[in-house]
Amino acid sequence: MTNATEAKLCREAAIGYASMALVTDYDCWHEEKAAVSVEAVLNVLKKNAGTADRVLADAVRRLDPKRPSDCADALTWAVLTPKSRIAPAASRRLALLLKKDER
Protein backbone atom coordinates (compact mmCIF):
# COMPACT_ATOMS: atom_id res chain seq x y z
CA MET A 1 0.00 0.00 0.00
CA THR A 2 1.16 3.52 -0.61
CA ASN A 3 0.22 6.90 0.77
CA ALA A 4 0.72 8.71 -2.53
CA THR A 5 -2.89 9.86 -2.87
CA GLU A 6 -3.06 11.14 0.70
CA ALA A 7 0.27 12.94 0.36
CA LYS A 8 -0.80 14.60 -2.91
CA LEU A 9 -4.15 15.74 -1.51
CA CYS A 10 -2.54 17.09 1.65
CA ARG A 11 0.00 18.99 -0.46
CA GLU A 12 -2.79 20.54 -2.53
CA ALA A 13 -4.66 21.52 0.63
CA ALA A 14 -1.43 22.80 2.28
CA ILE A 15 -1.90 20.40 5.19
CA GLY A 16 1.07 18.85 6.95
CA TYR A 17 1.29 15.10 6.44
CA ALA A 18 3.44 12.29 7.77
CA SER A 19 3.11 8.56 7.45
CA MET A 20 4.22 5.70 9.68
CA ALA A 21 4.22 2.12 8.43
CA LEU A 22 4.71 -0.93 10.64
CA VAL A 23 5.13 -4.38 9.10
CA THR A 24 2.86 -7.21 10.26
CA ASP A 25 4.33 -10.14 8.30
CA TYR A 26 6.90 -11.07 5.69
CA ASP A 27 5.38 -14.25 4.27
CA CYS A 28 4.27 -12.70 1.00
CA TRP A 29 7.82 -12.52 -0.34
CA HIS A 30 10.11 -14.56 1.92
CA GLU A 31 10.29 -18.08 0.48
CA GLU A 32 11.93 -19.57 3.58
CA LYS A 33 9.30 -18.33 6.04
CA ALA A 34 6.17 -20.29 6.86
CA ALA A 35 2.80 -18.93 5.85
CA VAL A 36 1.44 -16.48 8.37
CA SER A 37 -1.61 -17.11 10.51
CA VAL A 38 -4.31 -14.66 11.49
CA GLU A 39 -3.30 -15.13 15.13
CA ALA A 40 0.33 -14.22 14.36
CA VAL A 41 -0.70 -11.10 12.42
CA LEU A 42 -3.01 -9.98 15.24
CA ASN A 43 -0.22 -10.44 17.81
CA VAL A 44 2.19 -8.35 15.75
CA LEU A 45 -0.56 -5.81 15.07
CA LYS A 46 -1.13 -5.35 18.81
CA LYS A 47 2.61 -4.91 19.36
CA ASN A 48 2.76 -2.42 16.47
CA ALA A 49 -0.12 -0.43 17.98
CA GLY A 50 1.93 0.01 21.15
CA THR A 51 4.96 1.03 19.09
CA ALA A 52 2.86 3.56 17.14
CA ASP A 53 1.48 5.02 20.39
CA ARG A 54 5.00 5.50 21.78
CA VAL A 55 6.36 7.00 18.54
CA LEU A 56 3.44 9.43 18.23
CA ALA A 57 3.60 10.46 21.89
CA ASP A 58 7.33 11.17 21.52
CA ALA A 59 6.80 13.10 18.29
CA VAL A 60 4.05 15.24 19.80
CA ARG A 61 6.25 16.04 22.83
CA ARG A 62 8.96 17.27 20.45
CA LEU A 63 6.70 19.59 18.43
CA ASP A 64 7.39 23.27 18.85
CA PRO A 65 4.06 25.15 18.85
CA LYS A 66 5.90 28.41 18.11
CA ARG A 67 7.51 27.11 14.91
CA PRO A 68 5.64 28.30 11.81
CA SER A 69 4.26 25.61 9.54
CA ASP A 70 6.11 24.87 6.31
CA CYS A 71 2.82 23.66 4.85
CA ALA A 72 1.12 27.05 4.64
CA ASP A 73 3.26 28.00 1.64
CA ALA A 74 3.27 24.56 0.00
CA LEU A 75 1.51 25.86 -3.10
CA THR A 76 3.58 28.99 -3.68
CA TRP A 77 5.14 27.54 -6.83
CA ALA A 78 2.42 25.01 -7.72
CA VAL A 79 1.12 27.06 -10.67
CA LEU A 80 3.88 28.71 -12.68
CA THR A 81 1.73 30.07 -15.50
CA PRO A 82 0.99 33.81 -15.12
CA LYS A 83 -2.62 34.27 -14.04
CA SER A 84 -3.28 36.48 -17.06
CA ARG A 85 -2.47 33.50 -19.33
CA ILE A 86 -4.82 31.02 -17.61
CA ALA A 87 -8.11 30.45 -19.43
CA PRO A 88 -11.23 31.44 -17.43
CA ALA A 89 -12.48 27.83 -17.26
CA ALA A 90 -9.12 26.63 -15.96
CA SER A 91 -8.99 29.56 -13.55
CA ARG A 92 -12.34 28.49 -12.07
CA ARG A 93 -11.12 24.89 -11.73
CA LEU A 94 -7.92 26.07 -10.05
CA ALA A 95 -9.61 28.72 -7.88
CA LEU A 96 -8.62 27.13 -4.57
CA LEU A 97 -5.00 26.80 -5.63
CA LEU A 98 -4.76 30.24 -7.19
CA LYS A 99 -6.51 31.93 -4.28
CA LYS A 100 -3.95 30.54 -1.82
CA ASP A 101 -1.19 32.05 -3.95
CA GLU A 102 -2.62 35.56 -3.40
CA ARG A 103 -1.15 36.51 -0.04
25 is a catalytic site residue: yes
Question: Please, which contacts does 38-43 make with residues 24 or more away whose CB atoms are closer than 8 Å?
Answer: none
DSSP, collapsed to helix, strand or coil, labels residue 100 as helix
CB atoms within 10 A of CB 93: 12
Active-site residue, from 25, 58, 73, 101 = 25
27 is a catalytic site residue: yes
Active-site residue, from 27, 53, 64, 70 = 27
Residues that are catalytic: 25, 27
